[in-house]
Amino acid sequence: MGTNGLGSQEQESKEENRTEQPDLHMEFRDAAPEPESSRDAPPAAGDCKTPASPAPDAVAHGHGAGFVPPEGGWGWLVVFAATWCNGSIFGIQNSFGILHTMLVKEHTDPDDPTSQFKVAWVGALAMGMIFFCSPVVSMFTDHFGCRKTAVSGAALAFIGLLSTSFANSLILRYFTYGILFGCGSSFAFQPSLVILGHYFRQRLGLANGVVTAGASLFSMGLPVLLDKVVEPLGLSRTFQILSLFMLVQALLALTFIPLLPSGGAMGPPAMGPGQAESQTQAAVQAGSKWGKVVARIRKYFNLRVFHIVTYRVWAFGVATAVLGYFVPYVHLINFAKEQFKENEKEWVLLVCIGASSGVGRLAFGKIGDLIPGLKKIYMQVVSFMALGLMSMMIPQCAAFEGLVVVCAFLGLCDGCFLTMMAPIAFELVGPMQASQAIGYLLGLMSLPMTAGPPIAGLLHDYFGNYTVAFSLAGVPPMVGGVVLFFVPLIHRRLQRGQAPPEDTTAYMLPAALPAGEAKSCSNGDILPGYTDVETHI
């Protein structure tokens, strides 16, 4: 699995929106200056200054609307670093089934009927933390920038994997692998998507495609590597080898040299970081101590996306579906060892999922571009339905070849679901709030995604096989697919009840401002042309 490309797709749509609205930028740059009394008065809650004329040095240094990405050069080294980051993180996660079998051998207690349940929490916690930290990582990336956030995250992930090799109990590995490696991966992963928007605009799709394809290669190659080294070297040495991937990532993240100012998302095109910070401080100092806290919370966490009914239904459906989503990645190898004892090629299953997922992302991404509006959501409906059916088919496979075919379909469903996430978010809330929409969705996904594998392990311990576990794992994706089916219907019904009919551009463009009236510039309500590439997930 993986979320490769979500942030980059969002970047591309935001950049397109900026180029399509030149008149809006001119309107703000030509706006008359505020009266002196208006400048001296403390701003009302949520207000901010209208954008000023761009300073010459701002454009010269790459700030604001005059910024033009280099479309290559150093950016290709950044693409390589982002590919290594995405591939190593999700390659390790997708290959956890091999590590899971070794952890079961090391920590299984014959007298404990819940061993599988307890061991499954190691990988489930790591994957859950990657998604759970998403809203917080957006704030850190915006405040500290891509490079500091990515280097710190990769270093934390390195420490987590290295310390896991010395841990001798499940409790310690919950913390070292599940918490440290999971949180570090989240902080390293998201800036690797954000930084692509600093170097590419016209070629952003190409750069994102290179990152996605490279990450899929990692998902295919790491299972082969782990299959060769886990048995002869042991679990501790394996974790030490994997930690080297994150150490290399910490060094590669030093190439994430930003061309746009961190924190620039809170200001207009020509506003440098110092100007934006001074205005924010002035607004905060004008209020009480409680007002300062609320202002900072509202600055980084915008909950207005939950006011949109269709987004709430979509988020609930996706969160429900992923309860059984990560179960095959954790338990598939152990199931194959139990079901096909004479077969020594279990790692082929993970390679097959990684390869078909990469093909699915490329193919369904192209297909999704041809499907207008919210009809894209039906692709997710079909993918969840098929994913649930394939999960139920896993215990029914009497031949190893049949299991390989099932895994190929699982990968295609994975690629379709992930590729459609960002475009659907744009359709539901518009690009101005898409970053928050995707960030909160990933946060909601973390809890059920974390709980799924341990529940499957508990069912295995109780029944003595994986038949019930995989069969029940297919139910939540089907239920989530049914919920998502109603999102376009609800959207059309809301449109019919409004005059004029609601269009997603209502969320994309701000309303016209009366003379002398300020507009809110909180995170998620950024005008087209604002430097908001640092705020998406």
Average pLDDT over residues 300-318: 84
- Identify the CA nearest to 467 among candidates 362, 396, 373: 396
Do 155 and 81 reside in the same domain of the chain?
Answer: yes
Tokens of 503: 């269009």
Question: What's the number of CA atoms in the CB half-sphere (13 Å) around residue 174?
Answer: 11
Q: Are 178 and 446 in contact (CB under 8 A)?
A: no
Which of 26-30, 150-154, 272-276, 489-493 is predicted least confidently? 26-30
Q: Are residues 202 and 318 in the same domain?
A: no
Asked if residue 221 and residue 353 are part of one domain, the reply reads no
Q: Say yes or no: 311 and 193 in one domain.
A: no
**Same-domain check for residues 150 and 226:** yes
Q: Which two tokens stand for residue 497?
A: 């009840």
Quote the tokens at residue 534.
């640092």
Q: Is 203 a domain residue?
A: yes
| Whether the predicted pLDDT of 439 surpasses 50 | yes
Number of domains forming the structure of the chain: 2
For residue 506, is it within any domain? Answer: no
The position carrying tokens 């996904």 is 445
pLDDT tens for 122-166 read 888 888 888 888 778 877 877 788 889 999 999 999 999 999 999
Judge if 306 and 250 occupy the same domain.
Answer: no
Cβ(133)–Cβ(258) below 8 Å: no
CB 62 within 8 A of CB 192: no
For the chain, the distance separating the N- and C-terminal CA atoms, rounded to the nearest angstrom, is 17
The answer to the question of residue 277 being in a domain is no
For residue 204, the model assigns a pLDDT of 65
* Phi, psi angle pair for 284, to nearest 5°: -70, -40
Residue 474 Cα to chain centre, angstroms: 23
CA angle centred on 364, ends 360 and 370, rounded to 5°: 170
Asked if residue 16 belongs to a domain, the reply is no
Domain end among 202, 237, 260: 260
Note whether 308 and 385 are same-domain residues: yes
pLDDT in tens, 320-368: 999 988 888 888 888 888 888 766 677 788 888 888 888 887 788 778 7
Question: 316 and 241 share a domain?
Answer: no
What are the pLDDT digits (tens) for 454-473? 898 889 888 888 899 999 99
CATH number, residue 306: 1.20.1250.20
Provide the 10 A C-beta neighbour count for residue 31.
Answer: 15
Question: HSE on the CB side for 384, CA within 13 Å?
Answer: 28
Whether residues 334 and 202 share a domain: the answer is no
pTM score of the predicted model: 0.64
**215 in a structural domain:** yes
Do 380 and 480 fall into the same domain? yes
Residue 464 lies in domain: 302-497
**295 C-beta neighbours (distance < 10 Å), count:** 18
Is 281 within the bounds of a domain?
no
- Residue 308 phi, psi dihedral angles, 5° rounding: -90, 120
Nearest CA to 129 out of 151, 159, 106, 153 is that of 153
pLDDT at 486 over 90: yes
Q: Are residues 312 and 440 in the same domain?
A: yes
Return d(Cα 139, Cα 150) in angstroms, integer: 13
Pick the range with the lowest mean pLDDT from 57-61, 271-275, 475-479: 57-61
Mean pLDDT of the chain: 73
**Residue 196, domain member (yes or no):** yes
Query: Is residue 533 one of the residues assigned to a domain?
Result: no
pLDDT at 386: 93
- Please give the Cα distance from 527 to 24 (Å, whole number): 9
The radius of gyration computed from the CA coordinates of the chain, to the nearest angstrom, equals 24
Say yes or no: 341 and 241 in one domain: no
**How confident is the model at residue 154, as a pLDDT?**
94
